[in-house]
Structure 1
Amino acid sequence: ASTHHPIILTTHSESVVRSLELEELYFVSKSQGKTQIKDVRKSGVDKNKIPLDTAWLTNLLGGGLPW
């Protein structure tokens, strides 16, 4: 994988989310027939203070809950 050849992975796995860096995580949803992409870096979460999976499961990342 590289910036020219990215890997796109969809998941609901807490362990996968936990192992990512902020710049690797985006939320994708559909609203009113349009695809919405949210950049997690804009959430203000500090991965050094709270694991990404915990931030995700408590909706601190602002992308909605996984269930």
Structure 2
Amino acid sequence: MTSGGKLTPVISRIIVRGAEDTAPAIDPVCNMAVPRDEAGSTSIYNDVTYYFCSIGCKQQFDQQPARYVE
């Protein structure tokens, strides 16, 4: 693309809906791979959904989420 004789950078992204949802999530407490559709429970912290293998991991996370988030 040109603008006044100069090249103008163009940023393109291809978004594949559902692609990220098929990858297993990592439980931030025990680091276990958790299929998103089989997660024992979830929590939302800072607009990010975290998936847990069990209610115990969720409870630990909910008490101190900043400890488990990078």
TM-score of the superposed pair, with normalisation by structure 2: 0.23
Q: Which has the higher contact order (CA 8 A, sep 6+)?
A: 1
Q: Which of structures 1 and 2 has the bigger CA Rg?
A: 2
TM-score of the superposed pair, with normalisation by structure 1: 0.23
